[in-house]
Amino acid sequence: MRITGIKTAVIEANFDWTLVRVETDEGVSGLGEAFFAPGLTAMMREFESVLVGEDPFDIDRLYQKMRWASSAGSIAGFAYNAISGIEAALWDLKGRALGVPIWQLLGGKFRDRVRIYADCHAGHTLESLGPLLQRRAPAWLGNGDAAGSRSGYFESLPDESDDFTPKAYAEKARAVADRGFTALKFDLDVPVSGSVAPDAYARNLNPAQLDHLASLVAETCAAVGPHVEVAFDCHWRFTVKDAIRLARAIEGVPVAWLEDPTPPENPTALAKVTHATSTPIGTGENWFAREGFREALSLGALDIVLPDLQKCGGLGEGKRIAELADMHDLSVAPHNISGPIGTMASVHVAAAIPNFHSLEWHAQDVPFFDALLVGAGPLIVNGHVEVPTGPGLGVDLDLDAAARYAKAGEPFFA
Ligand code: MG
């Protein structure tokens, strides 16, 4: 069997769900999903020139070949998003050709169902973001002014909003937990009503802001009780001093983890935060390949490892990162902003690693998430996904449904 082509499609959801299909001369194909990036589908199609004629079963070798084709061995960057999607498609292809699930190829499974944690954004706020994190208003969102009022995700938000109050967070947390989820996540890098809007570039917190964030954490966790774990995401917004003050301010609350308090490029800074607090610190969605996790793990810079399997290099690399984490006695909770294809790919890795905590689901407000799969009911039931037993991914993309939400201007597997 030989690879004959690479095709792409993009679903315009809350993010660009970027799909890639690897085709062969025997009619078997595989489907993968990559973390969005500007220019990503053109980059994935460009990889066709190094993959055509190759044996699609040589997944680990083709992963290395794609790495070395990317600027003679890139250690980071959008090339890894492309490689991750293609690598995942190769696993689906191989599983379909051999008639076994991906988890079987990865070494078998540790569990029959995978726990999902529901990302709850910042309370009530639902947005759709383009590939450079600009706000947009796709037709399905039904919110014509979502775009334009605030230009970019990392710019300062308005400082008056009912969305970012402890009451709003607590109500949202209760509502999602009532649907059966035992793990949740909320944004913690939010503005404080009545206070000075945080300076997006200076990244400082004043005492009032610190108090407000600590009360968001305390009241959200109290609202759902001890059987539901809640993580809080800081999106790299804070300096070391403020991240330490925030982490210490919530030490009395048993949060699942505090995510990305400081920027991803400095494991030493993160280690200072982690070593200064008993609050568990998690990170990983902006690190690439197993090598990208090595320094932080050896520094003891994190308490829980959060790789993004649509970005870190793929499913095989995700499993190797999980093995590194296991050597350091750390759990893994994969980051995931994908549609159902990337989510199911991540489910296979989650099933095949011992040290799994929970898998993110970021699409609870996207009304067509389940409609993208052929003949399936809801993928997530009572906060879990049943590990599929069919070949490859174990699910099939509904091409008609996918075409309805395809992004204008992008090829659709053409
Ligand atoms: Mg995050």
Q: Is the pLDDT of residue 201 over 90?
A: no
For residue 155, what are its two tokens? Answer: 């710019």
Q: Is the pLDDT of residue 76 over 60?
A: yes
Q: Which SS3 state, helix, strand or coil, does residue 360 take?
A: strand
Dihedral sign computed on CA atoms, order 392, 394, 396, 402:
negative
Q: Name residue 117's beta-bridge partners.
A: 360
Helix count and strand count (H, E) for the chain: 13, 14
- If one compares 345 and 197, the residue with the highest pLDDT of the two is 345
Cα of 333 from ligand 1 centre, angstroms? 11
Cα of 58 from ligand 1 centre, angstroms? 32
Residue pLDDT, tens place only, 137-182? 888 887 654 444 444 565 555 545 667 889 999 999 999 999 999 9
Query: What average pLDDT does the structure give for the chain?
Result: 93
Cα of 192 from ligand 1 centre, angstroms? 20
Q: Are 12 and 339 in contact (CB under 8 A)?
A: no
Cα of 35 from ligand 1 centre, angstroms? 13
pTM of the full structure: 0.95
Cα of 392 from ligand 1 centre, angstroms? 28
Architecture of domain 113-396: Alpha-Beta Barrel (3.20)
**Distance of alpha carbon 393 from alpha carbon 327, whole angstroms:** 28
Identify the CA nearest to 253 among candidates 206, 284, 215, 208. 215
Residue pLDDT, tens place only, 108-147? 999 999 999 999 987 666 789 999 988 888 888 876 544 4
Phi then psi dihedrals of residue 107, to 5 deg: 120, 5
Cα of 371 from ligand 1 centre, angstroms? 26
Q: Are 376 and 364 in contact (CB under 8 A)?
A: no
For residue 236, what are its two tokens? Answer: 């790299």
The mean per-residue pLDDT over the stretch 267-294 comes to 98
For residue 222, what are its two tokens? Answer: 């109290």
Is CATH 1.10.3720.10 the right assignment for the domain spanning 3-99+400-404?
no
DSSP state of 388: P
Please give the share of the chain, as a percent, with pLDDT higher than 70. Answer: 92
**Distance of alpha carbon 74 from alpha carbon 354, whole angstroms:** 30
For residue 132, what are its two tokens? Answer: 């450079």
Cα of 260 from ligand 1 centre, angstroms? 7
**Distance of alpha carbon 348 from alpha carbon 357, whole angstroms:** 14
Q: Where are the alpha helices (DSSP H) in 99-206?
A: 102-105, 166-177
**Distance of alpha carbon 234 from alpha carbon 340, whole angstroms:** 26
| Residue range(s) occupied by CATH 3.20.20.120 in the chain | 113-396
Cα of 99 from ligand 1 centre, angstroms? 35
Confidence of residue 71 (pLDDT cuts 50, 70, 90): confident
Cα of 85 from ligand 1 centre, angstroms? 20
Cα of 284 from ligand 1 centre, angstroms? 8
Cα of 10 from ligand 1 centre, angstroms? 22
Give first-to-last CA distance, the chain, whole Å: 22
